[in-house]
Amino acid sequence: MGALHEGHAGLIRRARRLAGPHGSVVVSIFVNPTQFGPKEDLSKYPRPFAQDQALCRKEGVNLLFHPTADEMYLSDASVAVREKELSQGFCGASRPGHFDGVCTVVAMLFNIIRPDVSVFGEKDWQQLAVIRRMVRDLRIPIKIAGHPTVREEDGLAMSSRNRLLTTEARRDAPRIYQALRAVAMEAEDGEDSVARLCANLKKDLLAIPGASLDYVGIVNQETLAPLKKLLPSACARALVAVRLGSVRLIDNLPIPSSR
């Protein structure tokens, strides 16, 4: 989607390591209209292309794929790829049609670029899970590498939206990560009730000045199915979406089982 930052640079470096010195690293920058909901403003999405291009050049990207919407979508396009389970809750619930747009454009990009491996950030955990599912179910012959969230020094997950935060909200925003860390530590210390862990997580997040919660969940990290108890058999992940003023931030963290 462009508006590249240090988090994206981490993905590019990971791709370079996976490709090896003789492989090619391709970056796609495409602000995809079909993943914006009717209430989301496509025209206001940042498009600092010259800066993005400079970052790609600096990181040794071999090919920057930057199509227009008209190049990607014919006016009578009528085919979509849809994931029906993992995409329904969380960001999918607040952004109807979003993951249909994501799956379809990612399938198209895969067919155009035909990479051996494709790197996605873990910060968009649900997106990563949906794409892994699409690749699994459609037998797409591409390895998906999830790359750990790159964070600011104070713990805030890097995002192009961070620059939209007010000074106060930016100061408070690292408390999202702190709340996730706190709940991971409670789990490590033996708490295995997901209801209790979620309640504590919500309490910590709502204590951030001006925060409202879009969602909070602790789920099976692959299927995004709800959990009642943490179990060593199913890796759990806490997923949160928090609004600080008008800015919606998402983050997530693995929640260990102490058993």
Residues recognised as catalytic: 8
In one-letter notation, the amino acid at residue 35 is Q
Least distance from its own copies to the Cβ atom of residue 117, Å:
16
247 membership: H or E segment, kind and range = strand 247-255
Q: Which is nearer to its own copies, 140 or 182 (CB)?
A: 140
- CB 135 → its own copies: shortest distance, Å? 9
Smallest separation (angstroms) from its own copies to the CB of 93: 16
What span, in angstroms and rounded, lies between the C-alpha atoms of 180 and 33?
32
For its own copies, the closer CB: 103 or 247: 103
d(CA 45, CA 160): 10
CA dihedral over 124, 241, 90, 39, signed as positive or negative: negative
Q: Which residues bind its own copies (CB under 8 A)?
A: 74, 76-86, 103-104, 107-108, 111-112, 114, 133-134, 136-141, 223
Of the pair 100, 122, the CB lying nearest its own copies is at: 100
Token readout for 258 is 């102490």
Least separation in angstroms between CB 75 and its own copies = 11
For the CA atoms of 160, 166, 170, 173, what is the dihedral angle to 10 degrees?
Answer: -90
Q: How far is the CB of 96 from its own copies (least distance, A)?
A: 16
Sign of CA dihedral 244, 245, 250, 255: positive
Q: Exposed (0-12), middle (13-18) or buried (19+): which is 52, by Cβ within 10 Å?
A: buried
CA–CA separation, 106 vs 103, rounded Å? 5
Q: Token pair of 117, please? A: 């491996």
Rounded Cα distance between 135 and 240, Å, is 25
- Please identify, using beta-carbon distances, which residue of 112 and 185 lies nearer to its own copies: 112
- What single DSSP character describes residue 142? -
Give 22 or 139: the residue with its C-beta nearer to its own copies: 139
Cβ contacts of residue 177 below 8 Å, gap of 6+?
151, 155, 156, 157, 251, 253
CB of 2 to its own copies, least distance (A): 20
**Residue among 39 and 139 whose Cβ is closer to its own copies:** 139
Judged by phi (left if over 0) then psi (alpha if -120 to 50, else beta), residue 127 lies in alpha
